[in-house]
Structure 1
Amino acid sequence: MAAETISVRVPARSAGHDLRAIKIVLHREMLRFVNDRTRMVSMLTQPVLWLFVMGTGLGSLVQGSIPGIDYRTFMFPGMISMTVIMTGMFSAGSIVWDREFGFLREMLVAPVSRGAIVVGKCLGGAIVATGQGVVILAMAGLVGVPYSPTLFLTLLAEMFLAAFTITAFGVMLAARMKNMQTFFGLMQMAIMPMMFLSGAMFPLANLPSWLHVLTVVNPMTYAVDPMRQAVFAHLDVPAQVNAVLNPGVTWFGQQVPVLLELGVVAALGAALLGVGIAQFRRAE
C-alpha cells in the first residue's frame, strides 16, 4: 500500500501578513523592554547624571555670562536626545542577540516580507525610546522648563522622529553583525562622537571653524537643535543670551529653518530604513 502524501500549504505573502508581522515585532519589542527593568533604569541614569551633576557644575562656571537662565535648561533638550538615542540603539542591538540565539532565523523564514520585520523593529525601538524620553521630559520643571502642552507635544513628535532614525541606523549596523561585542563597540565608536558634536552639551555659537564644520555635517545636530528651538520658544530670556545659547544651525551664514532640519532627519531615517531592509534581504 503506497504511503499517502500530505501536502503542506504555505500561505502567500500579502499586505495583511506584513502588517500583522509589523504589529507582532513591535509588540515583542515593547514586552522585552517593559520586562527588563534594569535596562530601563540604566538607560536613564547617564542622562540624569549629565543633566543634574554635569549641568550644575558647568552652570556654576558660566553663570555670570548667561544671566537669567539655568545652564541645565540649556542642556535639557540635549539630555532628551541622549536618552532617545541610546535607547534606540540598544533596541536595534537586540537583532544581534536574536541572531546569536537563533530567533532571528525563525523570523526570516516566516512567510512575510523582511522589510516588515525591519519596520516593526524600527517602530518598536522608536516607541520604546520615546517612552524613555518622556521620563526625562517629566523632569522639565526641575530645570526651569515650563510644563506647556504645546511644548510637550512638539518635543514628543521630534523625539519620535529622532528615535526612529537612530533605531534605523542601529538596525542597519546590526543587520550583518554576528556578536554583541562587535555591535556595541561599533555603536560606541559611532554614537559618542555624534553626541558630543551635536551641540547637546555646548552652544553652537562662536565655535572654531573646524568644529563648526563637524557640527554641521553631524546628522544628530539636526535632531537636537529643533528640540532646543522648541524649548527656548517657551522661555523668557534676554536676546543676547538667546543668541549665545540658541543660535540654531547655519549653512553659509544663514540659519537653517526647523522644518528643514526635521526634513533632514526624516530623509535620513527613510534612507537608513531602506539600507536596513536591503541588508536584511541579503542576510541568511
Structure 2
Amino acid sequence: MATEAIGVRVPARSAGHDLRAVKIVLHREMLRFVNDRTRMLSMLVQPVLWLFVMGTGLGSLVRGSIPGVDYRTFMYPGMISMTVIMTAMFSAGSIVWDREFGFLREMLVAPVSRGAIVIGKCLGGAVVAVGQGIIIVAMAGLVGVPYAPGLIVTLLLEMFLAAFTITAFGVTLAARMKNMQTFFGLMQMAIMPMMFLSGAMFPLANLPSWLHLLTVVNPMTYAVDPMREAVFAHLDVPSAAASMLNPGVRWFDFQVPVGLELGLVAGLGFVLLLVAVMEFRKAE
C-alpha cells in the first residue's frame, strides 16, 4: 500500500509577519531584562559610583572655579548616558549568547525577514536601556536637578535615540561574534574611549586642540551634549559657570545646534541599522 506524502506549507513572508516578529523580539528582550535583577543592579553600580563618589571628590577640587554649581549636577547627564549606553550594548550582546545556545539559528530560519529581527532587537535594547535610565532620572533631586515634566520628557526621548543608535552599533559588532568574551572585549575597547571623550565627565570648554578634535569626531558627544543642554536649561546657573560647564559643541566658529546634534545621532543610528541588517543577512 503506497503511502501518500503529506505536504508542508510554509507561510509566505509578509509585512504582518515581520511586524509580529519585531513585537516578539522586543517582548523577549523586555522579559529577559525584567527577570534578570542581578543585571539591573550591576548596570546601575558604575554610574552611581561615578556620580556620587567621583562627582563628590572632583567637586571638592573645582568648587572654587564653579561657584554656585554642584559638580555632580554637571556630571548627571553624562551618567544618564553611561547607564543607557552600557545597558544598550549588553542588550545587543545577547545575540552572541543566543548564537552559542542555538536560539539565534531558530530565529534566522523563521519565515520573517532578518531586518525585522534586527529592528526588534534594536527597539528592545533601546526600551530596556531607557527603563534602566529612568532610575538615574529619578535621582535628579539628589544632585540639584528639578523634576520638571518638560525636562523629563526631553531626557526620555534623547535617551531612547542614543540607546537605539548604540544598540544598532552593538548588533553590528555582535552579528559575526562567536563567543561572549570576544564581544565584551571589543565592546570595552569601543565604548570606554567614546564615553571618556564625550564630555560626560569633564567640560568641553578650553580643551587642548588635539583633545577638542577627538571630542568633535566622537559620535557620543552628540548624544551627551543635548542631555546637558536640556538639564542646564532648567537650572539657575551663573553665566560664567554655564559657559564653562555647558559650552556646547563647536565646529571651528560654528556652534552646533541641539537639533543638528540629534539629527546626527538619528542618522548614525539609521546607517548602523542598515549595516546590522546586511551583516545579519550574511550570517549563518
Q: TM-score range by the shorter chain?
A: over 0.9
> TM-score if structure 2 supplies the norm length?
1.00
Letter in 1 for 2:190: A
Identity of aligned residues (%): 85
What is aligned with 2:13?
13
Structure 2 residue 206 is matched with structure 1 residue 245: no
Say which SS state the counterpart of residue 64 (structure 1) adopts: coil
What is aligned with 1:81?
81
Say which SS state the counterpart of residue 65 (structure 1) adopts: coil
Letter in 2 for 1:202: F
Say which SS state the counterpart of residue 12 (structure 1) adopts: coil
What is aligned with 1:46?
46
- How far does residue 191 in structure 1 lie from its aligned partner after superposition? 0.2
What is aligned with 2:199?
199
Structure 2 residue 132 is matched with structure 1 residue 104: no
- In the alignment, structure 2 segments of 5+ residues that lack a partner are none
Q: Aligned partners of 1:238 and 1:41: how far apart in 2? A: 36
Say which SS state the counterpart of residue 177 (structure 1) adopts: coil
Say which SS state the counterpart of residue 178 (structure 2) adopts: coil
Letter in 2 for 1:248: G
> TM-score if structure 1 supplies the norm length?
1.00
Letter in 1 for 2:216: V
Q: Aligned partners of 1:179 and 1:223: how far apart in 2? A: 29
What is aligned with 1:225?
225
Letter in 1 for 2:260: L
Letter in 1 for 2:64: G
- How far does residue 3 in structure 1 lie from its aligned partner after superposition? 1.2
Q: Aligned partners of 1:173 and 1:253: how far apart in 2? A: 35
What is aligned with 1:95?
95
- How far does residue 194 in structure 1 lie from its aligned partner after superposition? 0.2
Q: Deviations over 1:236-275 (max 9, x none)?
A: 1111110000000001122100000000000000000000
Alignment of 1:114-125 (within 5 A): 114-125=114-125
- How far does residue 153 in structure 1 lie from its aligned partner after superposition? 0.3
Structure 2 residue 182 is matched with structure 1 residue 182: yes
Say which SS state the counterpart of residue 126 (structure 2) adopts: helix
What is aligned with 2:215?
215
Q: Deviations over 1:157-197 (max 9, x none)?
A: 00000000000000000000000000000000000000000
Q: Aligned partners of 2:101 and 2:152: how far apart in 1? A: 39
- How far does residue 30 in structure 1 lie from its aligned partner after superposition? 0.3
- How far does residue 24 in structure 1 lie from its aligned partner after superposition? 0.2
- How far does residue 2 in structure 1 lie from its aligned partner after superposition? 1.2
Letter in 2 for 1:242: A
- How far does residue 283 in structure 1 lie from its aligned partner after superposition? 0.5
Q: Aligned partners of 1:39 and 1:5: how far apart in 2? A: 49
Q: Aligned partners of 1:55 and 1:33: how far apart in 2? A: 28
Q: Deviations over 1:28-64 (max 9, x none)?
A: 0000000000000000000000000000000000000
Q: Aligned partners of 2:66 and 2:14: how far apart in 1? A: 58
Q: Aligned partners of 1:45 and 1:127: how far apart in 2? A: 20
Structure 2 residue 265 is matched with structure 1 residue 268: no
Structure 1 residue runs of 4+, over 6 Å off? none
Say which SS state the counterpart of residue 64 (structure 2) adopts: helix
What is aligned with 1:170?
170
What is aligned with 2:128?
128
Letter in 1 for 2:83: T
- How far does residue 65 in structure 1 lie from its aligned partner after superposition? 0.5
Letter in 1 for 2:245: L
Q: Aligned partners of 1:163 and 1:143: how far apart in 2? A: 23
Q: Aligned partners of 2:43 and 2:204: how far apart in 1? A: 26
What is aligned with 2:36?
36
Q: Aligned partners of 2:156 and 2:88: how far apart in 1? A: 15
Alignment of 1:126-165 (within 5 A): 126-165=126-165
Q: Aligned partners of 1:84 and 1:39: how far apart in 2? A: 13
Q: Deviations over 1:104-125 (max 9, x none)?
A: 0000000000000000000000
